[in-house]
Structure 1
């Protein structure tokens, strides 16, 4: 099995574990911390998210440039590039500390409605997380280097271990009386450990060298001309998913409602993670295809293939959550958090198209044409979030969510015209082949799934039975009627030989 297939497989294992553990851990954390402190924990995490984008897109830049140098067999340029990025990271860490100090001494003016006890905890968590970021952002370069080398197994296996250990320790900490501050301290220790092991791997196993043969101002300019647009797009992501929580905190909405909104956002982003497990391993491949000047037809074919596999996964999750998500949220975290279900659904619907087109995003990065997407997204999503903020008073949390996702949907429409006209991707062919057999089959599955929902009962066993039946019907129907010959071959090849029919 290739590193690409192993990497995608381990990504799915990671996502299933982290999302599954997250779903189990969230109600426990809410119960142990209380609604108010859990909301405070998500609020500070949202604020830190904005500072984390001071990475300036360097992780993606490392993947792109190192993959290019490897395709050109230019070892010296690779070493010089990596040394240069470490100097840039040193400056970034200093900027994080400075910006963190400024915000630390002004938290009271940002969140005026926190109680003195909440503000005290907020400041401690914020200080720890600033230190965490100053160390872990440069450490992220090690994972990026592994991806550029198309060595996906070790970093993903390490992440699996990290999440399992971290989850067990969070349970132990809360059981022994720990609070949100102790969780933040634990995360810092875990991140430092992972950075150390990742560094050991790339230096010992991949024989990577950081050597400044010469300081080249043009190289720094080239790095930033590429990474600045990745940075702006990262700002879009932070503003889109965390901006709502910051707005709610700023206008004085209770920390409990901030927690409800945070749970909805969390469920929506879990949905996207299943698709990025596939797409996340394809940036090096997209870069190589660009260097080797692959045709538009070849690129469109690759985009369709990745998009269909992503859509098959996404439709199962979307359909199940649409049919049984309300019952799940009620059982999972209770009536207080019921608005998390429609918030998550809105995000899932609006998330689907960009997720199935994620290879086009990789192509934009590989061709250094990311500026248009970054500017389009940040303009329309900022406008949408502002509109959502105006809707909060009259329509509550749903108004905020609808406003922000509305701007996002409009930006996706514009990007498809860009993919077709500028990137020369055959978007009409993409949509035609993307939905072929999948959407009609999905409509039938939804109808069957709706009938399943009439099984009497409202407890966990009832929900589990419904979900098992739904997943069984979904997999059987997609295998029989939805998948094409290429997808069926991939599925059959992934089955261990001893399980295949002779």
Structure 2
């Protein structure tokens, strides 16, 4: 019981640190995105996102291996086997170095062929787009080599490191914005070069931090053939799932570029930025709780594992819905106030993507639990197979002449199917109760969402578009969502806990 209380306190502390980090970085990101969009222009901004997306496709191999590293390192740390932990880290680092070299070769052959023959880039900007591509490749290589170091930090739950290093990263990115407004050379090329330099600095800091505090990160020529096979098998099936993820993110981005050009890519890029800003609130909470999910499985604590999965899913939904509701209702006003120049389709993209995100955030704890078992072959075949259908179905609709919004509606439908499949797969993998999940997570989330939206939506219909009306709608959203979460989203013990925390905060402020 004491261990459980200690773990809960650690989760709360790490969550607060990650939120402080996120609020700081998000505030700067929202400020800089307007300047970058205006400095680069809609076309160059779209080029940067679609060309960078091509590199992300080749990084899918690394994403799969990153999940494997995270799972094996956290599992061994939870089991307390320090010697095995050192072997896992060194093996993981060797694999990531090899992967970075493989991806470099693929990117400079198949990738360049795709760049020159398939992408829709204005003729006058092909030269600049080429350098965007090259520096995106280099940035990806730097980040993938340091993945095992980041995995160790997360496994040890040292979230303060992410918080402090993020401050440095934000300051450096502010300097990038300043440089774009001062120097007269090609803005797009300057932007990608400076981003590469910033990532180099940040990743080096992460490596030095790990070498200073964690003994297992001191690299040695250790190799475990059996471990390599296990990690490779895990990563291989994870690759299948990551491929599906890339298909409905960067794959759709490329489809939009082929059918509609860079302007629609710019609209999607803005929508993704809004989505990421809100989603980061839940991801920070989940990043704090995910190591506990893996460690609970490692010590075979099934009850705590179920509690953590359901709590993470439910609270993540409440959090993103709380933040998304004002954006869903006042999308057009927010975009006009924030950007000034608003690419066509942006508002519709944002609304659909936020609804998709509400489902995705409840899926992440299920994904973490499935990965913790290490037995993901069937899981990835089923769930990954469903998500892979997003790209061909979207292509079919676009060929039939539908508007670009259709790809996000297809995404929405398939994500619901994938979530249902996850629940049934997890029931077999860890004896997970679907009935309990439906009662504690799905039903409560649905009730909260349905009740919360009614009053703000009615009020917004009777108000003119202005800053005053926007603030009124936001206030009503806050009150409506807070009351709905408290009365319909929380169980009795959770309501009691919430009242205690609010009372403690009130008395502290009163003093």
Return the TM-score normalized by structure 2. Answer: 0.89
Task: List gaps (5 residues or longer) in structure 2.
Answer: 1-5
2:25 counterpart of 1:18: yes
2:282 counterpart of 1:275: yes
Shift of 1:111: 3.6
The number of residue pairs the alignment matches comes to: 499
Shift of 1:195: 1.5
1:75-94 to 2 correspondence within 5 Å? 75-94=82-101
1:32-43 to 2 correspondence within 5 Å? 32-43=39-50
The farther-off stretch of 326-335 and 345-354 is: 326-335
Distance 1:113 1:365 in 2: 38
**SS of residue matched to 1:396:** coil
Aligned to 2:322: 316
Aligned to 2:151: 144
Shift of 1:174: 2.5
Shift of 1:418: 1.7
Deviations 1:104-155 (A, max 9, x none): 6425543454233211011111111212222221112211111111222112
In 2 relative to 1, CA 335–417 (structure 1 residues): closer, same or farther, beyond 3 Å? same
In 2 relative to 1, CA 56–108 (structure 1 residues): closer, same or farther, beyond 3 Å? closer
Distance 1:221 1:211 in 2: 20
Distance 2:360 2:235 in 1: 20
Aligned to 1:129: 136
Aligned to 2:194: 186
2:238 counterpart of 1:230: yes
In 2 relative to 1, CA 477–42 (structure 1 residues): closer, same or farther, beyond 3 Å? same
Aligned to 2:307: 301
Shift of 1:172: 0.6
Answer 1 or 2: which has greater helix percent: 2
Shift of 1:335: 7.3
The farther-off stretch of 126-135 and 321-330 is: 321-330
Distance 2:60 2:85 in 1: 24
Shift of 1:452: 3.0
Return the TM-score normalized by structure 1. Answer: 0.90
Aligned to 1:171: 177
Aligned to 1:249: 257
**SS of residue matched to 2:146:** helix
In 2 relative to 1, CA 71–447 (structure 1 residues): closer, same or farther, beyond 3 Å? closer
Shift of 1:189: 1.4
Aligned to 1:374: 380
Distance 1:469 1:478 in 2: 14
Deviations 1:33-53 (A, max 9, x none): 111111111111211211222
The farther-off stretch of 144-153 and 382-391 is: 382-391
Match among 493, 504, 508 for residue 499 of structure 1: 508
The answer to whether the 8 Å contact 1:343/1:401 transfers is yes
Distance 1:454 1:363 in 2: 43
Distance 1:376 1:281 in 2: 28
The farther-off stretch of 186-195 and 325-334 is: 325-334
In 2 relative to 1, CA 56–347 (structure 1 residues): closer, same or farther, beyond 3 Å? closer
Deviations 1:338-392 (A, max 9, x none): 5222222222223323412422211111101333332233322232221112222
Distance 2:294 2:489 in 1: 31
Distance 1:53 1:99 in 2: 12
2:351 counterpart of 1:342: no
**SS of residue matched to 1:478:** helix
In 2 relative to 1, CA 31–17 (structure 1 residues): closer, same or farther, beyond 3 Å? same
Distance 1:254 1:277 in 2: 34
Shift of 1:461: 4.5
In 2 relative to 1, CA 422–147 (structure 1 residues): closer, same or farther, beyond 3 Å? closer
2:39 counterpart of 1:54: no
Aligned to 2:412: 405
Aligned to 1:206: 214
Distance 1:24 1:460 in 2: 18
